């Protein structure tokens, strides 16, 4: 009887915490050399939850949104952004953790598309991270595995947004080719 109650209690905790963001807080990794992606004054940020099971959807969206905003403190976001601002779209496909044997397997996966005000795609990339964390006694392993995978995924996302350069985004009404070369993140020219 006692074993059955214990198993049910463990199962309830696992079911409640597998994709929940309860206890996770937004992170901030500002880079003094990049106040806002591509050196622009602002962006419209749109984070959408596209997971099959959207448990704790608002929490996941808020966690990613606030982490992006805090990591680019020189940027004006959404309504505060200039009218000619581009858009950063993040579609979340997976953010979960499950117990597997003596460990917790966590995964985060989302796609990121940055586009200019006219809708032209400037960059597009996928963020996929997986973390395996030992099942420590006395620890909230579900939360800790999600924290680890989120930290890794958000750092990768921030890196992808930071490599956008001003040279690849023409000013409104300006043809990028009229300025000569368009420069990518690595400095290569595209004529």
Residue 178 falls inside a structural domain: no
Question: Would the pLDDT of 40 be above 50?
Answer: yes
Residue 130 falls inside a structural domain: yes
Question: Would the pLDDT of 104 be above 90?
Answer: yes
Q: Which domain holds residue 23?
A: 2-170
For 158-169, what is the HEC assignment?
HHHHHCCCHHHC
CATH number of 120's domain: 3.30.160.150
pLDDT score at 54 = 83
Q: Give whole-number Cα distances, 111 to 2, 16, 90, 91, 101, in Å.
A: 45, 26, 6, 5, 30
Residue 20 falls inside a structural domain: yes
Which run of H or E residues covers position 88? strand 86-100
Residue 177 falls inside a structural domain: no
Higher pLDDT, 22 or 74: 74
DSSP 9-52: HHHHHHHHHSS--TT-------BTTBSSGGG-SEEEEEEEE--S
Q: How many domains does the chain have?
A: 1
Residue 185 falls inside a structural domain: no
Question: Quick one: average pLDDT of 179-188?
Answer: 39
Which residues lie below 8 Å from residue 175, measured CB to CB, with a gap of 6+? none
Structure tokens at 101: 């044997």
Question: Would the pLDDT of 89 be above 90?
Answer: yes
pLDDT score at 156 = 97
Residue 43 falls inside a structural domain: yes
pLDDT score at 182 = 35
The candidate with the shortest Cα–Cα distance to 42, out of 106, 89, 85, 99, is 85
Residue 91 falls inside a structural domain: yes
What proportion of the chain, given as a percentage, has pLDDT over 70?
A: 75
Over the chain, what is the mean pLDDT?
82
pLDDT score at 53 = 87
Residue 186 falls inside a structural domain: no
């Amino acid at each position: 009887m006692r074993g059955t109650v214990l198993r049910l209690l463990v199962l309830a905790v696992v079911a409640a915490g597998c994709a929940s963001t309860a206890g996770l807080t937004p992170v901030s990794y500002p880079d003094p050399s990049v106040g806002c992606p591509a050196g622009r004054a602002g962006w419209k940020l749109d984070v959408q939850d596209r997971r099959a099971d959207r448990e704790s959807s608002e929490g996941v969206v808020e966690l990613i949104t606030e982490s992006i905003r805090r990591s680019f403190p020189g940027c004006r976001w959404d309504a505060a952004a200039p009218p000619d601002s581009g858009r950063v779209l993040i579609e979340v496909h997976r953010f979960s953790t499950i117990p597997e044997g003596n460990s917790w397997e966590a995964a985060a996966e989302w796609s990121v598309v940055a586009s200019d005000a006219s809708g032209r795609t400037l960059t597009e990339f996928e963020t996929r991270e997986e973390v395996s964390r030992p099942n420590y006694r006395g620890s909230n392993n579900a939360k800790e595995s999600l924290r680890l995978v989120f930290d890794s995924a958000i750092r990768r996302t921030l890196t992808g947004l930071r490599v956008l350069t001003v040279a690849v985004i023409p000013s409104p009404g300006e043809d990028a080719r009229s300025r000569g070369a368009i420069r990518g993140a690595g400095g290569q020219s595209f004529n």
